[in-house]
Amino acid sequence: MAAQTQALTFSEATSSQAFAERFPANRNGKLAELIAAAVMHVHELIKEFRPTQDDWRKVLLFLTEVGHASDERRQEWVLLSDLIGASALVEEINSRRPKGATPNTIRGPFYRDNAPARAPGSSISIDGKGEPLVVSVRVQDLDGLPIADAEVVTWQANAEGFYENQQPDLQPEHNLRGLFRTNAEGRFHYRSVVPAGYGVPSDGPVGRLLSGAGYPLHRPAHLHFVVRAKGFETITTHIYDSRDPHLGEDALFGVRPELIARFEPVEVGGKRGQAVELTFVMVRSRPGRAS
């Protein structure tokens, strides 16, 4: 009869190893390694800060509250990942592009995957509240050639810094959201309103925790875009207003020099407004990379 392997005794010194040894020999290697490494870091934090049982229950209560605060309109887990820089780091590792290509940023917690298709030149501002904005878009490849029939999804906060899914009782459904397609010259334009910068929501557990610790929760004024075209890597990015005073402390770590644009004063329909011209540069899909 074969002798059974003696399980490692759990102790402060052996806690991480004792957990890792519980995985079966035929385990999913990469997944098991990731879980074991995450647990090791958690154990090291516990050993370093030595929380009391009450302290640890507060941590678990916070994680529970994050889950309860998440629903189809609000993703508090995404917000947590974004605010600690985890989302930005994963994006940075996985979407490095050649010089001249538009960099990716994170999608953010207020994205919706059902933006309505809109005609070129139309407005995504259903309620019309705010200073008029005209956005002109060109999509091209690294050689400067236009990309026709590219799908461009855009969404943004309103003039008070709120997204439509934050205010379902105050803003019309799909306000300031739209899906457009480029013409043969890789271009289209649309109308909107000038977005305001805003503070990351502090009414949920993530915002309360970080604001209570003195962490800055500013987001400079910006427009969101997802750009897709057959044979090219998808771009998920922001465009930031160059005049915003909080460009240096974006809570979601999304600001890049290439993503800062000048909003110029213009007259729109007899009213004072602004205009911005944007160029998105796509790279061709490569094996093993998401298109």
> DSSP label at 29?
H
Using the predicted structure, report yes or no on whether residue 288 has a pLDDT greater than 70: no
- Residues of the chain within CATH 2.60.130.10 domain(s) are 76-282
The pLDDT-based confidence of 1 (bands split at 50, 70, 90) is very low
Alpha-helical segments (H) within the chain: 15-20, 29-49, 53-68, 76-83, 86-94, 205-212
CATH class of 76-282: mainly beta
Question: Is 43 or 73 the better-scoring residue by pLDDT?
Answer: 43
The pLDDT-based confidence of 200 (bands split at 50, 70, 90) is confident
Using the predicted structure, report yes or no on whether residue 284 has a pLDDT greater than 90: yes
Helix 53-68 × helix 76-83 angle, to 10°: 120
Q: How many CA atoms lie less than 13 Å away from 130 in the CB half-sphere?
A: 26
What confidence score (pLDDT) does residue 216 get? 87
The pLDDT tens digits for 212-259 are: 888 889 999 999 999 999 999 999 999 999 999 999 989 989 999 999
Section 114-141 average pLDDT: 97
What confidence score (pLDDT) does residue 5 get? 58
> DSSP label at 193?
E
The pLDDT tens digits for 143-178 are: 999 999 999 999 999 999 999 998 999 999 999 999
Using the predicted structure, report yes or no on whether residue 92 has a pLDDT greater than 70: yes
> DSSP label at 79?
H
